[in-house]
């Protein structure tokens, strides 16, 4: 992963971790995962140990869903264009559920 502006460099241990993994299962459903990085301030605890992934069809739909689920939430990274080609964001909603938004259709 390229180092973003103002981001600390990855430790050797963090550089060896998984950024994204995807396991396709029945009916087009995919189970996705990622490692937590202590160097990025992540602390593994109940509430962030699972994330529900949405793959909306458009940026507008991504923004609508993100706005609804992040209202009153915390730990928010608003959707933005990422280097891997997706419009991506994440939030922890007001009930402690983590949501990830991953729009690959950039229309």
Could you give the C-alpha distances from 13 to 20, 32, 39, 45, 69, in angstroms and in order?
16, 21, 10, 20, 33
Q: Give residue-wise pLDDT tens across range 42-84.
A: 777 766 667 788 888 899 999 999 999 999 998 789 999 998 8
Question: 100 with 77: CB under 8 angstroms?
Answer: no
In which band, very low, low, confident or very high, does the pLDDT at 106 lie, cut at 50, 70 and 90? low
Structure pTM? 0.62
Please tell me which residue, 24 or 61, carries the higher pLDDT value: 61
Domains parsed from the chain with CATH numbers = 6-44 (no CATH), 46-107 (3.30.720.110)
Q: What is the pLDDT of residue 46?
A: 63
Residue 64: φ, ψ to 5°: -65, -50
């Amino acid at each position: 992963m390229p180092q973003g502006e103002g981001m600390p460099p990855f430790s050797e241990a963090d550089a060896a971790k998984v950024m994204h993994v995807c396991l396709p299962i029945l009916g087009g459903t995919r189970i996705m995962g990622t490692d937590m990085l202590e160097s990025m301030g992540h602390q593994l605890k109940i509430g962030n140990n699972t994330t529900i992934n949405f793959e909306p069809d458009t940026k507008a739909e991504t923004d609508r869903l993100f706005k609804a689920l992040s209202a009153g939430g915390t730990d928010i990274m608003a959707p933005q264009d990422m280097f891997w080609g997706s419009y991506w964001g994440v939030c922890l909603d007001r009930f402690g559920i983590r949501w990830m938004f991953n729009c690959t259709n950039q229309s």
